[in-house]
């Protein structure tokens, strides 16, 4: 399965920048769906209400799914790859 990687930078409530990728099946290109995934994730981090638009989240590239992402993608439709300030 190919997945699309959406590079995302969100300003947290404390002013620091969260950097993470939203990974979803390649055929999902509706940005509102992708932003919805990001907003759902932000809620789990206590960052609900922070802006998540084309300014914060852009399509980056496509890659082949890795086994460690597959369960989340099958269950939720997406996987979040945390990179910076995601605690």
Spans of all domains in the chain: 2-84
38, 30, 78, 50: CA torsion to nearest 10: 0
Q: Give Dmax over CA atoms of the chain in angstroms.
A: 37
Bridge partners of 3? Answer: 25, 63
* pLDDT tens profile 16-36: 999 999 999 999 989 999 999
The model carries a pTM of 0.94
Write down the pLDDT at residue 1. Answer: 86
**The CATH number of domain 2-84, selected from 3.40.640.10, 3.10.510.10, 3.40.50.150, 3.30.450.190:** 3.10.510.10
**pLDDT at position 85:** 97
For 25-72, write each residue's pLDDT tens digit. Answer: 999 989 999 999 999 999 999 999 999 999 999 999 999 999 999 999
């Amino acid at each position: 399965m190919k997945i699309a990687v959406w590079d995302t930078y969100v300003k947290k409530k404390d002013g620091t920048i969260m950097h993470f990728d939203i990974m979803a099946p390649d055929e999902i290109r509706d940005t509102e769906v992708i932003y919805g995934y990001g907003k759902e994730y932000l809620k789990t981090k206590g960052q609900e209400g922070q802006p998540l638009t084309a300014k914060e989240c852009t399509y980056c590239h496509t890659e082949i799914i890795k086994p460690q992402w597959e369960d989340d993608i099958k269950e939720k439709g997406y996987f979040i790859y945390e990179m910076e300030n995601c605690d």
